Structure 1
Amino acid sequence: MNGSALHKTAADCAEAHPGAQLEHPFGPDWEVYKVRGKVFMLMTDVPGWPVVILKADPGEAHALREQYSRITPGYHMNKKHWITLESGEGVDKELVEELVTDSYRLVVAHLPKAERPVDPHTYGTGTRAAR
């Protein structure tokens, strides 16, 4: 998957989630996706290459970094709770959609129950790609 496909796949997936909103609080070079005001995905170009920055469970983030050379600690974010995804070997549509959905679910799970647009424990679990 190339960089423009990475951004398009991630954006299409993010926009499909209930309550997701795109904002540009850091200028036109940063696309920031939020649910109920909380960030779950950022997209930008880090000199020369497109990246997607996503929230991840710390244990899962470590495992992902071990498994995929194109997943690194979160760019300009808390390195324990965020990952950066680049296009390249092993990065396909299913992985991108799974990571975006996981990030969204993690953020929704920390919202007050009355503000949750979906049940984070069941939402998106039927479409998870096997790793």
Structure 2
Amino acid sequence: MDIKAYCLSLPMATLDYPFGETPMVIKVNNKMFALISNAGDVSLKCEPLQALAYRDMFEAVIPGYHLNKQHWNTIKPNLDIDDEMLKRMVRESYKAVVNTFPKKDRAYYLNLLF
């Protein structure tokens, strides 16, 4: 799966390089929801309890690399994560960011997603 293409297929998602050439940062409304390394690892925002559950369920999921470990996971997609689960995690990350927007903006973005 092309993780970059999938992230950018979400409503209003944009690509940015705020830290230099790497990592690629995917944002919605100028807020990060995915970071993609040159190695293909992807860091995604996650609700804290779900982040812990994913770490227990999958060898591929570790605490966010250079990120808040409570709210971010880093996924090595070539291990035990299939494409559908990775897509689910990307959508959850997108929603976690959108849920921090003001109520009127939140409804707009979530309506675009569904």
After superposition, what is the alpha-carbon deviation per residue over 1:17-74, rounded to whole angstroms, capped at 9, x for unaligned? 11111001111121001111110000113xxx43100000110010000010010000
- Counterparts of 1:81 and 1:52 in 2: how far apart (Å)? 14
Aligned AA (1:14) = C
Structure of greater relative contact order (alpha carbons < 8 Å, 6+ residues apart): 1
* Residues 77-115 of structure 1: per-residue CA shift (max 9 Å, x gap): 000000000023321110111100000000001111233
| Matched pairs, number | 113
2:17 maps to 1:24: yes
CA RMSD of aligned residues (A): 1.8
Q: TM-score, normalised by structure 2?
A: 0.89
Please state whether the residue corresponding to 1:42 is helix, strand or coil. Answer: strand
Match of 2:63 among 69, 73, 87: 73
Query: Structure 2: how far apart are the matches of 1:123 and 1:33?
Result: 16
What TM-score do the two structures reach when normalised by structure 1? 0.78
Using the alignment, how far apart are the partners of 1:112 and 1:44 within structure 2? 30
Q: Does 1:89 align with 2:82?
A: no
1:37 aligned to 2:27? no
Q: How does 1:1-131 map to 2 (within 5 A)?
A: 5=1, 8=2, 10-45=3-38, 49-116=39-106, 117-119=108-110, 123=113
Are the aligned partners of 1:44 and 1:50 in contact in 2 as well (CA < 8 Å)?
Answer: yes
Q: Distance in 1 between matches of 2:84 and 2:68?
A: 25
Q: Which deviates further from its counterpart, 22-31 or 67-76?
A: 22-31
SS in structure 1 of the partner of residue 87 of structure 2: helix
